Structure 1
Amino acid sequence: MSVAVHTSPLDVVGVDGFVHLDYAATAPCVRAAADAVNALLPYYGSVHRGTGLRSQTSTLEYERARDVVAGFLGARDGDHVVFTRNTTDALNLLARAVPAGTRTVVFESEHHATLLPWADPVRLPAPASADEAVAAASSALRVLRGPKLLAVTGASNVTGEILPIRRLAEAAHRHGARIVVDAAQLAPHVPISLADLDADYVALSGHKLYAPFGAGVLAGRSDWLDAAQPYLAGGGASAAVGAGDVRWATGPARHEGGTPNLLGAVALAAVCTALADAGRSTSDEQELLAHLRAGLRSIPGAVEVSLFGPRSPRVGIVSLALAGHDPARVADRLAVEHGVGVRAGQFCAHPLVRHLTGRAGVAACGDTPGLLRASFGLGTTTDHLDRFLSGLAACLTVPARRRPAARSTD
């Protein structure tokens, strides 16, 4: 295999000959991110901690990256942009920062990053429609007292369906609650704006947004973050340390203790700039999605699953229940026999996958109730999708060659 040569900032850095359709897990790096990292490496140094050329350059680039990400996310005056490791880290940070006694409302259909961090959450059943999601969240928030937070995904990492974030934000605010949006799957596909969505917080991962260098973001209202104890106690988060007391930093630095991930932040900002410069049209992706879904309808035994039905708006993610087949074995065959990488398992959304497989009427085949997921983005072509479709059809009709049993992934 030879490494492909690229020239555009949004060209995928990839390997020729293998089709990657697992963007929802980790998107490939694009040239803008790789170039930004390579350009900064000669100047790489400590951030906020030195006067030399390396430190000054690194500090400037780190804070410039924060400004770029703030603009990409439509941050308002006074919002903080805190760099984290990923979406899970960002949501755990917020869970640590909410006022004492805050009740969080969350759907069972969430990714574990959104489902699990909260103390004493109110868990709602997976909604069957966008209207039901808004009604259920509104009913739950109406009866709660004290600080309240609605935690919701922007787009499902299992079905790709887009939730009605603006309507959910209106419902939350009507009942005196705040809303945090897990935008890990939404941000790579459509524009995200805190101001336009009227969301209080948004969290995302660089590795889903074509910048797989270990950076994530929590962006949103500053008051809860400024009032909270630092997420990581240590250098950078501390402004002054005495014999028995500490004065903590204010602003984003309060929650960015230790040496920050400069290269991750700069790579993420470079992708944000490239995406903004290129425009955020979704028409090409929707054409690819329609092509994929049409092809799947002709493959017996492959049943697309969804929460809201086949006509609900969605991004480039499709999950399938496979009657009589273990999705992990099918995924293994797709990789080995057809050179196509997809994902099988429960996708860190176990309650949702159990719900969807039950609704699809497909019994578990293998160790766990799992699905097969194909997800795509920049660099994906109809040829890639056709290769997946033909490979899947073959896997569901042609017996596998004898190999060690595959295992379902999380």
Structure 2
Amino acid sequence: MVSVLSPTEVKLPDGSSVEFANLDIAATAPCLDVVAAAVADLLPWYGSVHRGAGALARRSTREYEQARETLYEHLGCGPQDTVVFTRNTTDALNLLAHVVPAGTTVVTFDAEHHANLLPWREPVRLGVPRSAAEAVSTLDGALRRLPGPALVAVTAASNVTGELWPIAELAETAHRHGARIAVDAAQLAPHGPVDITALGADYVALSGHKVYAPFGAGVLAGRADWLDAAPPYLSGGGATAAVSSDFTVRWHDGPARHEAGTPNLIGAVALATACRALAEADLTEEHRLVARLRAGIAALPRVEELRLFGPEAPRVGIVSFAVLGRDHDQLSTILGRDHAIGVRTGLFCAHPLTRRLLREATDRLDPAAEPPGAAIRASAGIGTTEEHIDRLLAVLADRT
């Protein structure tokens, strides 16, 4: 059974103690116990990667490249693909933006996280679709109008609503028009398989801190040709195959080209360990708890769930909602201070989308009301219990 390291109890202002209800897992997931154990086992052997011939360097290099191989297999990579370790999803997508060939148009949706909105140079931004089918048809129409090569950049699961995007259909559409597709898998990876081949993706990006491996590593995986053709993302040791006396540089091909400097060995091993564990995890209970949370929110008269595609759309363990007539920051403070419930409040690094969904949610409740300036997001995962969900719903019922 997969489990997480987390505080069992926290003190409340009245002096009592209660089990902490971590419902902010979508932002930063706690550490899996097997990940902590793998890190503890490796630390005595920590040394230089790809540098040195001693026992520590040999062990560290072997562990680092085994972690890469684990990610290669876990993500369903093929012979044309490579795996580059990065800091997180944002870093991975910025790396991809760095290597996109000149003359390639990037196409994305206004529904994206900032990490998949802001790195691209002069992208074509498509409107927020109202259904999965509309997302596919909108992309098809946009690619028909483009004169040259394109890269489609899209999320697999919304970090605002948790809804799944039709990645396989979007990939088929992109490839039919000769385009590539990059998938932000940050929110999908903790809740289900991320397989490049099965999805039809050309690139996927994800973060360790979303998949219960909070040690500062992420991954860009996918086709190697653009990565090998571009100048290094960072210039420095490790990326260089040779530097002459006149400072002419020959760069490595492969992952090393974009992994200059001392790599994050601990982060890479933690991420690989987490992915192996998640591949064996039973997430049935998570789905049940999310359904319980959504049903409870739907029963509250002044609370409305944010959604893109409709109430029946498949989703991961994320539920964001608007509360009319309450200050969201104050309410989240009450949840944390008085009830030991951790949630997220704000616009979730997806400001255009969240503001739009807040307006739509308010209209469903009271068209004459002003939409709140922020939403609250509750996210479930490994370690979430039914009592956590019911405690949140009870406070919302009392406070709204």
What's the TM-score once normalised by structure 1's chain length? 0.92
Match of 1:102? Answer: 104
Give the match for residue 314 of structure 1. 315
| Number of residue pairs the alignment of both structures matches | 383
| 3-state SS of paired residue (2:312) | coil
CA 1:14–1:282 in structure 2 vs 1: closer, same or farther (change >3 Å)? closer
Aligned identity (percent) is 60
Question: 2:63 aligned with 1:56, yes or no?
Answer: no
Question: Is 2:387 the counterpart of 1:383?
Answer: yes
Deviation at 1:49, TM superposition (A): 0.4
Equivalent position of 1:141 in the other structure: 143
For residues 94-141 of structure 1, what are the alpha-carbon distances to aligned partners after superposition, in whole Å with 9 as ceiling and x for unaligned?
000010121111100100001110001001111100011001111111
User: How far 1:78 moved relative to its partner?
Assistant: 2.6
Paired position in structure 1 for 2:276: 273
Distance 2:188 2:328 in 1: 25
Q: CA deviation at 1:214?
A: 0.2
Does structure 1 residue 373 correspond to structure 2 residue 377? yes
Match for 2:121 among 119, 122, 131?
Answer: 119
Structure 1 stretch displaced more, 10-19 or 150-159: 10-19
- Paired residue for 2:209? 207
Is it true that 1:392 corresponds to 2:392 in the alignment?
no
Q: Indicate if the aligned counterparts of 2:28 and 2:214 stay in contact, CA closer than 8 A.
A: yes
Matched, 1:259 2:266: no
1:304-347 alpha-carbon deviations (Å, 9 max, x no partner): 01000000000110000111112111111100111100000000
Shift of 1:358: 1.5
Conservation of the 8 A alpha-carbon contact between 1:334 and 1:395: no
Q: CA deviation at 1:211?
A: 0.2
Cα distance in 2 for residues equivalent to 1:354 and 1:294: 23
Quote the residue 2:16 is aligned against: none
Match of 1:298 in 2: 299
For 1:355, give the aligned amino acid. R
Pairs within 5 Å for 1:9-20: 10-16=2-8, 17-20=19-22
Point out the more displaced range, 297-306 or 156-165: 297-306
Indicate yes or no: 2:370 matched with 1:363: yes
Task: Deviation per CA, 1:264-322: give whole Å up to 9, x if none.
Answer: 0000111111122x25x443222111111111122221100100000000011000011
TM-score, normalised to structure 2, is 0.94
Indicate the larger mover: 135-144 or 148-157: 135-144
Supply the distance in 2 between the matched residues of 1:20 and 1:56 (Cα, whole angstroms).
39
Query: Which residues of structure 1 form unaligned runs of 5+?
Result: 1-7, 397-410
Tell me whether 288-297 or 202-211 shows the greater mean CA deviation: 288-297
The match for 1:238 is 240
- Paired residues of 2:190 and 2:278 also in contact (CA < 8 A): no
Return the structure number with greater relative CO, CA threshold 8 A, min gap 6.
2
Q: Is the 8 A contact 1:99 1:147 kept in 2?
A: no
Match of 2:11 in 1: none
Report the Cα distance in structure 1 between the residues aligned to 2:333 and 2:302, rounded to whole angstroms: 18
Give the root-mean-square deviation of aligned CA atoms: 1.0
Find the partner of 2:85 among 83, 91, 114.
83
Extract unaligned runs of 5+ from structure 2: 9-18, 364-368
Deviation at 1:391, TM superposition (A): 1.7
Moved over 3 A (4+): none
What is the CA-CA distance between 1:147 and the residue it aligns to? 2.2
Is contact 1:22-1:376 (8 Å) kept?
yes
Q: Tell me the equivalent position of 2:12.
A: none
* Cα distance in structure 1, aligned partners of 2:385 and 2:118: 36
Structure-to-structure mapping, 1:343-354, within 5 angstroms: 343-354=344-355
| Counterparts of 1:20 and 1:283, CA distance in 2 | 18
Partners of 1:388 and 1:322 in 2: CA distance: 13
SS of aligned partner of 2:80: coil
